[in-house]
Structure 1
Amino acid sequence: MGPDGYRESPPREGSSFPGRWPSSALGQAFSQILHQFAGQESRRGKASNAALRDLSALLEAKECDQLFEGSDTSLLGMPEMLGQVAKALGKYAAPPEGPEGGGDRHSEVAEKAAAVGLLFLKLLRKVETAKNSLVCPAWKAGLRHLAGPIYIFAVTHNLEQPWTSPKSQGVAGQVLALLLQVTECGSVAGFLHGENEDEKGRFTAVMGLLKPDLNKDSWKNNPATKHVFSWTLQKVTRPWLSQHLERVLPPSLLISDDYQTENKILGVHCLHHIVLNVPAADLLQYNRAQVLYHALFNHLYTREHHHIQAVLLCLLDLFPILEKALHWKGDAARPTTHCDEVLQLILMHMEPEHRLLLRRTYARNLPAFVKRVPCRLVVLLKALLKLICDVARDSSLTPESVKSALLEEATDCLILLDRCSQGQVKGLLAKIPQSCEDSKVGNYIRRVQQVSEGAP
């Protein structure tokens, strides 16, 4: 039966398309195609192949003004219908779930994706023709419903994955390029957040389509979902990402909390992107930064060096946000910071670690903790000097051996602090020996200066 020969019929049971069908012959033709995609699993294969052929014939036979005709208040128009068809095509070409979906099924998915991609190219060319035509003003509505599903399809099959082939990647790349051309966007980032700060992008629409597949019960149903989300998230940066924080933070935490190392690392990369591209004030609001810290801290007990590396890099960028409002006064005990907790755990794990790759990962990141030291120079110096003065003047029954050990350790810490700060401690202590009334304290300070001067 040709593309114009479909008989009017009510929606079939199991159809995913809501509402009433357009009464036109073209609307009924698309309705039948949707029914074929929504058929039972046992007969979906042949029906879907037939649907692809029918859809191709429809796109070739119809003019753009027919494809993008509008809708009234009671009937769903062609723009909405085309959006449903685009979603059905994307679902048809989606990779299978789980390990049983490998091998031959991945090859089958790549073939399906290539066929669907060619249909999307035809459809986008129809949109472009309509855009350049004065007799088809409804193309904007059509593009609004098509852009999100087509983008998700293109990203799913554009990157090298187990379910892609060079052919399917090539077709998906063409689809993405044509989508950007039709939407007049110079980049994927522009497509998502808008070409400027005043323009509304399509990130919200894309996340709306991904949301049903990004909850704890469904995010593993489609193995492409996590990659589409991660890749899309990485394209949205400052100042646009902050307005979408509530949409992107929960799925990032969800993926990072998985038992598989691959997913843990992917989720940590997502969290790191959020830390780098959302203002500190927004992350501190509603205790979000603390939630991030505790989620990341739990990852430090893993034994996989790639995982540890990703977590430490994220934590190092999170520390300044967490400690932004931290003010310590010298007359009180200095509180243990998040940076201190992580450093203590790293040193504890590193000391007995016999796996070289993991040990090297710990060692590689230690200098970053040292380089945070100069900004705390005055705070640390006051704390160490107070310790030396208190111990030197202590008249309690504490054994002298204990006092001597404490003074030696505190002096060594001052020497290390001086080296970490490129000799700034020596300069700050220069006048203390002459004015210090306690000769014992003065001797320890002179020792710091002498050792620092002789250091390479």
Structure 2
Amino acid sequence: MELSSLLHQLQLSSSSSSSSSSSSPEKPLPSHPRPPITEVLPQLQEKLIGSYKKASDCETTALIGQIEQLFQAADPHWLFSLDSTNQSAGLAAAYGGLAAALIGRAALPLCEPDSGPPPARHYQEVPNRARSVCSALNALLDRLGDWEREGGAARRSLLRSVAPPCWVLAVTHLQVEAWTSSASRQAAARLQGALLRAGGWRDPAHFLMGDEREEEEEEEEEGGRKSRGMLGEILDVLQPELSKDRWQQCEAVKFVFSWSLLQVTRPSLSPLLPRLLPPSLLLSDHYRPENCMLGVRCLHHIVVNTPAAELLQYNRAEVLYQALYKHLYTTEAAVIQVVLSCLLDLLLVLEKPPSSLAPPSPPRRPGRHDDVLRLLLTHMEAEHKVVLRRVYASALPQYIERMGIAVCRHLRRVERVVLGYLEVRDPPEERSRLAMLKVLEETLKNAWPRMDSRVCVLLRCLLRLLLDVSSDSELCDSVRQQLMNRTVCCIKLLDSCSHTVQPLLQQVDSSCVSPAVLSCLATVTTATQR
């Protein structure tokens, strides 16, 4: 369809010809001069906003389709033209307003706070709306890409105005959620690809982070096209919806925020740290496990990709520690797993690891590593749920390794936990037992001078484990071999800690054990080096 016919169909005209148009509305538009784009865009925006309240869904979709045809048929020189009264900032603002009006058509309906995720029927009309809006914005970005050679600074200004809301729309519908369909996800993927092509960005990370600051300054001086990241502009769009009172009303905002944040690495994360921490803490503090886990993952990403000095500034690291530590009292296994992983990296920011202190150094006072390990061991002793036991057991070896010789402060509790977990089967992979054997290995290596008084108890437990594993027909051969090898390794380390192991092993009655166990014990009794 020709541009003049489209403008006539949309009932758009210039202000200079409005009087003649009103007197003869049937008269075709080609007899009048084509209106400037700065007059067309506000009229389109008003029509879109008015259609939300008055027109039906089909009529609004038809209007969006006409806008898409307008972008496809129009010449880029007219779409992005600048005259004496139209500066680049005004043109960018006009396109930004139109993009916001289009995206408002695909906005998700609001939810009731603290009511849980709404049912799928709550979003049944959203996928079709999003598909038509993505298609219209895709056409605009394609035309903007055609204007690449001649746009210059005006094109970059316009792109930075349109890109943030387009990004938010695309990421919102890239997720496999209740408000998306396969068609809307494909449309969102095409919109994201068109956005990256229009700006010359390599991938989403390049879009959000831009080029390095030093290269950017050099290129700007030379008139190049190095771009800075768009994460700040994305946060400007999301900020009103990320407040404490409003973030639960839109289910998509947390996914857009977290997805965008997880694409950004150092050093681009540090300048926006004051704007990234509050929403992440807000999510991590929520009672719903899925929201809490999402917030903790965001906090973990921030901890890993922010210099320690920046986290220590303004007591940020302490705030993060307190927010995470309280989650160790929850009974949600998935939450505890991500919290323990995040704490392991955060503790390195707050204090030096105990294992890094050489023995000649003065005695170290108990710190946050001790607090976390003490609470972890306390919960492990009384825990009976299999899922939680596996989570605790998988995390404990890393904390024991981090403690080094300082594990002696927790030796009695570690011993009780190890003995208790080695006695209980955990089929089919025996992850808890394997992890406890790793804990025992690390403890024997670091606290060997304190092991002489514990030889009888530990050796009895390890021998019983060998017997149980060798006679367990439900275990696969690979898992059985791993358990037996780890057990023998612990017995060898125990033998290195004390001279009483060999006499005790010689008292084993060979008629009561299998040949496989005897073969394992033979490798210990023949070892002479201590």
Range of TM-score over shorter length: 0.7 to 0.9
Contact 2:289 / 2:335 at 8 angstroms: preserved in 1?
yes
Contact 1:95 / 1:101 at 8 angstroms: preserved in 2?
no
Contact 1:255 / 1:264 at 8 angstroms: preserved in 2?
yes
Relative to total residues, which structure has the larger helix share, 1 or 2? 2
> C-alpha distance in 1, partners of 2:72/2:312?
54
Contact 2:72 / 2:143 at 8 angstroms: preserved in 1?
no
> C-alpha distance in 1, partners of 2:13/2:132?
23
- Tell me the residue number matched to 2:475: none
2:395 partner SS? helix
- Tell me the residue number matched to 2:127: 110
1:253 Cα deviation from its structure 2 partner: 0.3
2:241 maps to a residue whose letter is: D
Deviates more, 1:274-283 or 1:338-347: 338-347
- Tell me the residue number matched to 1:299: 327
> C-alpha distance in 2, partners of 1:264/1:328?
38
- Tell me the residue number matched to 2:249: 221
- Tell me the residue number matched to 1:33: 44
> C-alpha distance in 1, partners of 2:65/2:365?
69
Contact 1:319 / 1:338 at 8 angstroms: preserved in 2?
yes
> C-alpha distance in 2, partners of 1:277/1:63?
44
| 1:51–1:7 distance in 2 versus 1, CA, 3 Å | farther
| 1:262–1:67 distance in 2 versus 1, CA, 3 Å | same
- Tell me the residue number matched to 1:277: 305
| 1:45–1:275 distance in 2 versus 1, CA, 3 Å | farther
Counterpart pick for 1:286 among 287, 310, 314: 314
Matches within 5 A, 1:134-173: 134=150, 138-173=154-189
> C-alpha distance in 1, partners of 2:191/2:267?
28
Unaligned runs of 5+ in 2: 1-7, 19-33, 217-227, 417-437, 452-495, 506-523, 525-530
1:103 Cα deviation from its structure 2 partner: 3.2
| 1:26–1:419 distance in 2 versus 1, CA, 3 Å | closer
- Tell me the residue number matched to 1:88: 101
| 1:298–1:70 distance in 2 versus 1, CA, 3 Å | farther
Unaligned runs of 5+ in 1: 10-22, 385-404, 410-415, 430-446
What's the CA shift string for 1:189-229, capped at 9, x where partnerless? 01111133433211111111111111101112221110000
2:442 maps to a residue whose letter is: C
- Tell me the residue number matched to 1:368: 398
Counterpart pick for 1:210 among 209, 223, 238: 238
2:326 partner SS? helix
- Tell me the residue number matched to 2:344: 316
Matches within 5 A, 1:28-427: 28-39=39-50, 42-43=53-54, 45-46=56-57, 48-70=60-82, 77-98=90-111, 102-132=119-149, 134=150, 138-197=154-213, 198-199=215-216, 200-324=228-352, 334-374=364-404, 377=405, 420=442, 423=445
- Tell me the residue number matched to 2:470: none
Contact 1:110 / 1:168 at 8 angstroms: preserved in 2?
yes
| Length-normalised TM-score, structure 2 | 0.66
What's the CA shift string for 1:218-276, capped at 9, x where partnerless? 11222111000000000001222112111111110011111211101100000010111
1:449 Cα deviation from its structure 2 partner: 4.8
> C-alpha distance in 1, partners of 2:439/2:381?
22
1:120 partner SS? helix
| 1:359–1:380 distance in 2 versus 1, CA, 3 Å | closer
> C-alpha distance in 2, partners of 1:239/1:361?
32
- Tell me the residue number matched to 1:439: none
Matches within 5 A, 1:16-31: 25-31=36-42
- Tell me the residue number matched to 2:12: 5
Over the aligned positions, Cα root-mean-square deviation in angstroms equals 3.8
2:9 partner SS? coil
1:371 partner SS? helix
1:281 Cα deviation from its structure 2 partner: 0.9
1:353 Cα deviation from its structure 2 partner: 2.0
| 1:281–1:96 distance in 2 versus 1, CA, 3 Å | same
Contact 2:14 / 2:35 at 8 angstroms: preserved in 1?
no
- Tell me the residue number matched to 1:390: none
> C-alpha distance in 1, partners of 2:82/2:242?
32
Deviates more, 1:61-70 or 1:95-104: 95-104
Contact 2:369 / 2:403 at 8 angstroms: preserved in 1?
no
1:37 maps to a residue whose letter is: L
What's the CA shift string for 1:281-312, capped at 9, x where partnerless? 11111111100000001111111111110111
> C-alpha distance in 2, partners of 1:380/1:363?
16
> C-alpha distance in 1, partners of 2:248/2:403?
42
1:79 maps to a residue whose letter is: A
> C-alpha distance in 1, partners of 2:195/2:439?
56
> C-alpha distance in 2, partners of 1:41/1:172?
22
What fraction of aligned residue pairs are identical, expressed as a percent?
35
> C-alpha distance in 2, partners of 1:347/1:301?
12
Contact 2:209 / 2:230 at 8 angstroms: preserved in 1?
yes
| 1:305–1:100 distance in 2 versus 1, CA, 3 Å | closer
1:166 Cα deviation from its structure 2 partner: 0.7
Contact 1:68 / 1:136 at 8 angstroms: preserved in 2?
no
Contact 1:37 / 1:44 at 8 angstroms: preserved in 2?
no
